[in-house]
Amino acid sequence: MINAILVFNNHGKPRLVRFYQHLAEEVQQQIIRETFHLVLKRDDHICNFLECGSLFGGSDYKLIYRHYATLYFVFCVDSSESELGILDLIQVFVETLDKCFENVCELDLIFHMDKVHHILQEVVIGGMVLETNMNEIVAQVEAQSKLEKAEGGLSAAPSRAVSAVKNINLPEIPRNINIGDINIKVPNLSQFM
């Protein structure tokens, strides 16, 4: 499980903080601070995994991080996650951000905090990886922002009309059309379908 996702800049200013287990505010801040100090000390050319000691209470927690220009992306995970898998998940997340913001930079993260959170929600939900397919994530996010625009324009219209339009604008994801092509077949379990 992923316990926390932290993004901070080179000066340790938090840019995105998402904890998936409940911790007191002070503990969270301490974790951010200590994580920053741990990560800052390290060169760019050494390994991207870190044992974070007793930061989260147990001993089998790990920090997996990547450094992009001015930002550190740090995932705190427990032993049930694959290190290299998470490392590439960070890459997927950042590439998705890049697609959604076109050339993402630190300021995007600050000023569109809510949007970044929404993108993250499509990737990781409740500490579990939900989606790793970048096109899919972008499609979801775009469908939502399309809706945003539609709603922005319609905000004055009567609510019934709004919901009618909303239903027309439902995100349609091409993947669903190809259902026939998906060849994952689980034999023996077919009677459940």
- Binding positions for other proteins, 31-60, rule CB under 8 A: 32, 42-43, 45-51, 53-54
Alpha-helical (H) ranges within 2-64 are 25-40
Is residue 163 a contact residue for other proteins (CB under 8 A)? yes
Structure tokens at 101: 């913001």
Tell me, residue by residue from 102 to 131, as one string, x for binding to other proteins by CB under 8 A and - for no binding: xx-x-xx-xxxxxx-xx--x---xx-xxxx
CA–CA distance, 159 with 166 (Å, rounded to integer): 10
Q: How far is CA 32 from CA 70, 90, 162, 175, 179, in A?
A: 16, 18, 42, 38, 43
- Count, residues near other proteins per rule CB under 8 A: 90
Binding test (CB under 8 A) with other proteins, winner from 14, 78, 94, 98: 14
Binding test (CB under 8 A) with other proteins, winner from 69, 158, 160, 183: 183
In the complex, least distance from residue 68 CB atom to other proteins, rounded to whole angstroms:
16
Tell me, residue by residue from 135 to 154, as one string, x for binding to other proteins by CB under 8 A and - for no binding: xx---x---xx-xxx-xxx-
CA–CA distance, 30 with 19 (Å, rounded to integer): 13
Is residue 94 a contact residue for other proteins (CB under 8 A)? no
**Terminal-residue alpha carbon distance, the chain:** 30
Number of residues assigned to the chain: 193
Tell me, residue by residue from 58 to 77, as one string, x for binding to other proteins by CB under 8 A and - for no binding: --------------------
Structure tokens at 39: 């990560």
In the complex, least distance from residue 134 CB atom to other proteins, rounded to whole angstroms:
8
Structure tokens at 132: 């790793």
In the complex, least distance from residue 63 CB atom to other proteins, rounded to whole angstroms:
10
Within 13 Å and on the Cβ side, how many CA atoms surround 17?
Answer: 19
